[in-house]
């Protein structure tokens, strides 16, 4: 009986421990909730930081868009001393030139909205002369995204700027590569860039602003570490103006420079035979160039190394006849130099430039802002080309030569290299470029 009494007592003692686990469980739960709360707080902080980082990047991108738009508009409209500012009609979007606001030396504020609710606003200074004697203007742009604001500034040079802007191909409309030839260098378009052949772009391929993009339909690719990022704003191709005296060597054709198997009638050069035509002058204004035989057209100026400039006039100035350039035979278009700046071709009108023959590549710079350029043969170009619409559909391509950066256009404003800078997010001063 005593034994059973001890066992019963033990059960009573042990039974009394059943609730002792509750405080432990509560402690563990409290610790878990504490750790979870800290984790959620850290996650929230990280998320806020990530959102702010995205806001900063988008705000800077919006500010840069304002810079691009301001520069493009001034290049397009070419402000004057009496009307130095570009005004945008908020209702129609039409652009026009105007003066400064009363008593100010900065153009009026321009503000616009981008996709996703981001905005930019910019102002442009009056021209000023730097210590180097060059005329400049300052563009200050502010971008806003998700409550985050960033400001940037850029100095610009007024006057002439590189005609080809560092691009081997500039196409005012869409740019097509549908053949074997490609581009070695950068290419740009104001619309889509189509790579539907085997040729690609070894460099940056820059289509027009969104929704335009690079469209791949063949084996062509963007290589050499190039980018396919769309432009923020379209670019402008300045019209060609024939300067006085540009035809000073026309008299030589078929006189001092004999034509055997070639003709020069109504300012149109035609090479149909097998004998080359060698032109020894520097300045020509033609109504067209046609090579449909096996003879070459070679430019070999009397002063070795001096540049040759050929202008192709408009039909209106050529009796209504078609102008442009056509190379359809086995003859080649040649320069005595491998430097593309030594042969500069400017097409004033809209008649096309067509290289469809089997001649070799030519070192030249070809600028035809109103005309289509088609390279459909086996011959290519070493230098740069710019046209209304550029198509590479043959085995010849374009190899960019940086020497063409020496050729200057008539643009009224160009970016000054190395002048881009970030500013304080806000400025307490009435001067737009304060703290930049």
From start to end of 193-249, where are the E strands?
A: 193-195, 201-202, 205-206, 214-216, 222-223
Per residue in 50-80, pLDDT (tens digit) is 666 888 999 999 999 999 999 888 888 888 8
Alpha helices in 1-95 (DSSP H): 2-15, 21-77
> How many angstroms separate the CA atoms of 327 and 336, rounded?
18
User: Would you call 23 helix, strand, or coil by DSSP?
Assistant: helix
Other Cβ atoms within 10 Å of 146 Cβ, number: 15
Instruction: Report phi then psi at 62, rounded to 5.
Output: -65, -40
304 exposure class (CB count in 10 Å sphere: 0-12, 13-18, 19+): exposed
For residue 397, list its beta bridge partners. none
Where do the structural domains in the chain lie, given as residue ranges? 56-161+415-423, 169-410
pLDDT for res 27: 64
pLDDT for res 11: 47
CB burial string 400-423: b at 16+ within 10 A, e below: bbebbeebebebbbbbbeeeeeeb
Which residues, other chains included, contact 286 with Cβ-Cβ below 8 Å and sequence gap of 6+? Answer: 250, 267, 268, 269, 310, 311, 312, 313, 323
Which residues, other chains included, contact 213 with Cβ-Cβ below 8 Å and sequence gap of 6+? Answer: 192, 193, 207, 228, 230
> How many angstroms separate the CA atoms of 64 and 153, rounded?
9
Q: What is the largest CA-CA distance in the chain?
A: 146
Other Cβ atoms within 10 Å of 181 Cβ, number: 26
pLDDT for res 160: 67
pLDDT for res 348: 94
Structure tokens at 82: 């009496």
> How many angstroms separate the CA atoms of 104 and 149, rounded?
25
For each successive 10 residues of the chain (436 residues), what is the average pLDDT? 45 48 61 58 52 85 93 85 90 92 93 90 91 84 93 84 90 93 95 92 96 90 94 87 91 94 93 91 96 90 92 92 85 91 95 85 94 89 97 91 86 73 80 90
> How many angstroms separate the CA atoms of 152 and 63, rounded?
6
Instruction: Give me the numbers of helices (H) and strands (E) for the chain, helices first please.
Output: 2, 32
pLDDT for res 294: 85
Beta carbons of 162 and 356 less than 8 angstroms apart: no
Structure tokens at 12: 């009573």
Residues in the chain, overall count: 436
Cα pseudo-dihedral 44, 45, 51, 53, rounded to 10: -160
Structure tokens at 40: 């959620």
CB burial string 87-101: b at 16+ within 10 A, e below: bbeeeeeeeebebbe
> Is the pTM of the predicted complex or chain greater than 0.85?
no
Other Cβ atoms within 10 Å of 46 Cβ, number: 10
């Amino acid at each position: 009986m005593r034994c059973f009494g001890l066992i019963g007592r033990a059960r009573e003692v042990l039974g009394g421990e059943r609730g002792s686990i509750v405080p432990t469980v509560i402690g563990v739960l409290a610790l878990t909730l504490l750790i979870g709360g800290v984790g959620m707080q850290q996650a929230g902080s990280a998320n806020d930081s990530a959102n702010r980082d995205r806001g900063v990047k988008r705000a800077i991108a919006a500010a840069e868009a304002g810079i691009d738009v301001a520069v493009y508009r001034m290049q397009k409209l070419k402000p004057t001393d009496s009307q130095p500012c570009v005004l945008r009609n908020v209702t129609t979007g039409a652009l026009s030139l105007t003066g400064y606001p009363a008593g100010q030396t900065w153009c009026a504020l321009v503000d616009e909205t981008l996709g996703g609710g981001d905005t930019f606003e910019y102002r442009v200074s009056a021209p000023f002369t730097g210590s180097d004697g060059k005329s400049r203007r300052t563009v200050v742009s502010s971008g806003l995204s998700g409550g985050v604001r960033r400001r940037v500034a850029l100095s610009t040079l007024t006057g002439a700027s590189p005609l080809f802007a560092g691009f081997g191909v500039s196409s005012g409309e869409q740019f097509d590569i549908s053949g074997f030839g490609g581009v070695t260098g950068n290419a740009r378009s104001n619309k889509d860039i189509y790579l539907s052949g085997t040729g690609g772009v070894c460099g940056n391929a820059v289509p027009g602003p969104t929704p335009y993009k690079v469209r791949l339909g063949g084996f062509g690719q963007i290589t050499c570490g190039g980018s396919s990022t769309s432009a923020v704003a379209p670019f402008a191709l300045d019209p060609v103006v024939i300067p006085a005296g540009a035809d000073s060597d026309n008299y030589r054709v078929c006189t001092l420079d004999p034509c055997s198997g070639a003709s020069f009638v109504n300012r149109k050069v035609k090479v149909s035979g097998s004998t080359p035509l060698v032109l020894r002058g520097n300045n020509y204004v033609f109504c067209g160039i046609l090579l449909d035989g096996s003879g070459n057209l070679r430019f070999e100026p009397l002063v070795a190394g001096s540049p040759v400039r050929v202008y192709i006039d408009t039909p209106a100035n050529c009796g209504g006849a078609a102008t442009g350039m056509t190379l359809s035979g086995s003859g080649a278009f040649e320069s005595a130099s491998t430097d593309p700046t030594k042969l500069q071709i400017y097409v004033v009108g809209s008649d096309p430039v067509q290289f469809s023959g089997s001649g070799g590549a030519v070192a030249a710079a070809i600028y035809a802002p109103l005309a289509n350029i088609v390279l459909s043969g086996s011959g290519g170009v070493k230098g740069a080309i710019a046209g209304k619409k550029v198509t590479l559909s043959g085995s010849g391509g374009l190899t960019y030569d940086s020497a063409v950066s020496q050729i200057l256009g008539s643009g009224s404003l160009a970016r000054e290299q190395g002048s881009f800078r970030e500013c304080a997010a806000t400025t307490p001063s009435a001067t737009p470029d304060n703290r930049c």
